[in-house]
Structure 1
Amino acid sequence: MARGGINKALVQKARQAILARGENLSIDAVRVELGNTGSKTTIHRYLKELEDAERGRDVSAMPLSEQLANLVAQLADQLKEEAQAGVAQEREQLERERLDYQNQVRQATNRIQQLEGQCTGLAEQLQTAQQALQQEQQLRQQAEIENARLLQANHDQEARLQDRDGQIRSLEEKHQHARDALEHYRQAAKEQREQEQRRHESQVQQLQLELRQLQQTLIIKQDELTQLNRDNARLLAEARQLQKEQHAQQQLLAQKTQALENAKNALAGVERANDALEQRCSTLRKEVSQLGEASAIQAQQAQSLQERLVEATAQLNLLGAPLANSDGARST
Structure 2
Amino acid sequence: MARGGINKALVQKARQAILARGEHPSIDAVRVELGNTGSKTTIHRYLKELEEAEQGRGAAPVPLSSQLANLVAHLADQLQEEAQAAVAQEREQLAHERRDYLERIRQAESRSQQLETQCAGLIEQLQGAQQTLEQEQQQRQQAAVENARLLQANRDQEARLEDREGQVRSLEEKHQHARDALEHYRQASKEQREQEQRRHEAQVQQLQLELRQLQQALMVKQDELTQLNRDNAHLLTEARQLQKDQHAQQQLLAQKNQVLEAAQAALSGAQCSNEALEQRCSSLQNDVAQLREAASIQAQQAQSLQERLIEATTQLKLLGHVPLANVDGANDT
Q: CA deviation at 1:148?
A: 1.0
Where does residue 22 of structure 2 map in the other structure? Answer: none
Q: CA deviation at 1:91?
A: 2.9
**1:238 aligns to 2:224 (yes or no):** yes
**1:122 aligns to 2:126 (yes or no):** no
Q: CA deviation at 1:210?
A: 4.3
**1:313 aligns to 2:299 (yes or no):** yes
Whether the 8 Å CA contact 2:193–2:200 is kept in 1: the answer is no
C-alpha distance in structure 1 between counterparts of 2:118 and 2:309, whole Å: 60
C-alpha distance in structure 2 between counterparts of 1:32 and 1:283, whole Å: 59
3-state secondary structure, aligned to 2:194: helix
Which structure 2 residues correspond to residues 173-322 of structure 1 after superposition, within 5 A? 173-186=173-186, 188-189=187-188, 192-193=190-191, 208-322=194-308
3-state secondary structure, aligned to 1:208: coil
Percent identity reads 40
CA, structure 1 residues 322+207, in 2 after alignment: closer, same or farther (shift >3 Å)?
closer
C-alpha distance in structure 2 between counterparts of 1:245 and 1:236, whole Å: 14
C-alpha distance in structure 2 between counterparts of 1:207 and 1:115, whole Å: 112
- Give 2:167's aligned amino acid: Q
C-alpha distance in structure 2 between counterparts of 1:260 and 1:89, whole Å: 78
Q: C-alpha offsets along residues 90-135 of structure 1, whole Å, 9 cap, x if unaligned?
A: 3343233212212212211221222122122222222222222222
C-alpha distance in structure 2 between counterparts of 1:282 and 1:216, whole Å: 98
Where does residue 324 of structure 2 map in the other structure? Answer: none
C-alpha distance in structure 2 between counterparts of 1:299 and 1:185, whole Å: 120
Where does residue 10 of structure 2 map in the other structure? Answer: 12
Where does residue 91 of structure 1 map in the other structure? Answer: 91
C-alpha distance in structure 1 between counterparts of 2:314 and 2:35, whole Å: 27
Q: CA deviation at 1:86?
A: 4.9
3-state secondary structure, aligned to 1:209: coil
Q: RMSD of aligned C-alpha atoms?
A: 3.7
Q: CA deviation at 1:214?
A: 4.2
Where does residue 166 of structure 1 map in the other structure? Answer: 166
- Give 2:130's aligned amino acid: Q
Q: CA deviation at 1:69?
A: 11
Which structure 2 residues correspond to residues 144-155 of structure 1 after superposition, within 5 A? 144-155=144-155
CA, structure 1 residues 110+310, in 2 after alignment: closer, same or farther (shift >3 Å)?
same
Where does residue 324 of structure 1 map in the other structure? Answer: 310
* Structure 2 residue ranges without an equivalent (≥5): 16-25, 28-33, 39-61, 321-333
Where does residue 33 of structure 1 map in the other structure? Answer: 37
Q: C-alpha offsets along residues 282-330 of structure 1, whole Å, 9 cap, x if unaligned?
A: 2212222221221121111111101111111111111221221211221
Where does residue 136 of structure 1 map in the other structure? Answer: 136
| Highest RCO, 1 vs 2 (Cα 8 Å, sep ≥ 6) | 2
Q: CA deviation at 1:78?
A: 7.3
C-alpha distance in structure 2 between counterparts of 1:145 and 1:115, whole Å: 44
C-alpha distance in structure 2 between counterparts of 1:177 and 1:31, whole Å: 142
- Give 1:12's aligned amino acid: L
Which structure 2 residues correspond to residues 108-119 of structure 1 after superposition, within 5 A? 108-119=108-119
Q: CA deviation at 1:151?
A: 0.8
C-alpha distance in structure 2 between counterparts of 1:257 and 1:32, whole Å: 94
- State which drifts further: 164-173 or 255-264: 255-264
Q: CA deviation at 1:263?
A: 2.1
Whether the 8 Å CA contact 1:129–1:270 is kept in 2: the answer is yes
Q: CA deviation at 1:209?
A: 3.0
CA, structure 1 residues 122+293, in 2 after alignment: closer, same or farther (shift >3 Å)?
same
C-alpha distance in structure 2 between counterparts of 1:12 and 1:65, whole Å: 20
Whether the 8 Å CA contact 1:108–1:291 is kept in 2: the answer is yes
Q: CA deviation at 1:213?
A: 4.7
Whether the 8 Å CA contact 1:115–1:284 is kept in 2: the answer is yes
C-alpha distance in structure 1 between counterparts of 2:281 and 2:272, whole Å: 14
CA, structure 1 residues 65+231, in 2 after alignment: closer, same or farther (shift >3 Å)?
same
TM-score (norm 1): 0.70
Aligned residues: 276
